[in-house]
A = this chain, B = another copy of it.
């Protein structure tokens, strides 16, 4: 092959939805995409987002999109307002593109890429599949727009730039008193690990503001005062029901030894705990 820049030749589109795999909805979106651009690589990011949970979808997207090559187009469809007045949007955020309903699902990527962010309202119907249904814009708007975008069209061709896009506040540790903060469980992963709203940067800043490396985390009557070096380390600490570690998403997470921390602690997404940074 005489391709000089082979990487740019194969565009990537990822899909994140709450469609699950019980229906052919995701497959249909892929059919639409391949009908417009048959050379694209389509990657499923997650289709098991809890139904209608926009913020959890946003977190999953926010903790994943950076691991793809520059130029990747991320499509996210958790869309309880489909068919209503909520707008469809296309965002150019840093080195990535996002195609989604304007309902807050892009809040995490927006926050990360605030310095280089342009959002466009999708209005050019020539890039839609017509007639547009009232129930499945993944098929009729988001998939075809992503596919046309993957052919190299510029984002501004799809509609006017807007500045009043919806950006939800993402959960962060909340200051309670002194050096005590309340955190939230923002995701439970497939292993039952509990991902907290405590990010690596916040944690490091708080620790370094004190004299050492010491903290006390409390949730569901459990007290944790150290980080584990890796998951298997808990095997040698039978007195510890759960451990804490900075997981692959860059957030502090709680885990058990080859068991579900969520079930052991009876803790679920939205529950809160406290973390105290010691002097």
Contact = CB atoms under 8 A, between A and B. Distances in A.
A60 B23 CA distance: 7
A160 interface: no
Given A67-B139, A84-B233, A133-B248, 19 more contacts: A1-B3, A10-B39, A21-B47, A22-B46, A24-B61, A24-B64, A28-B64, A31-B67, A31-B69, A51-B190, A83-B230, A83-B231, A83-B233, A134-B229, A134-B230, A134-B245, A135-B230, A135-B247, A135-B248
5 contacts: A35-B67, A67-B139, A83-B232, A84-B230, A134-B230
B24 A34 contact: no
Interface of A: 1-3, 6-7, 9-10, 12, 14, 16, 19-28, 30-32, 34-35, 38-39, 41-48, 51-52, 60-61, 63-64, 67-69, 72, 80-84, 133-136, 139, 189-191, 229-233, 245-248, 258
A81 B232 contact: yes
B134 A258 contact: no
A15 to B, nearest CB: 9
B60 A24 contact: yes
B135 A23 contact: no
Given A41-B38, A82-B231, A248-B133, A48 B30 contact: no
Contacts of A245: 134-135
B1 A27 contact: no
A19 B82 contact: no
Nearest to A192: B51
Contacts of A64: 24, 27-28, 31
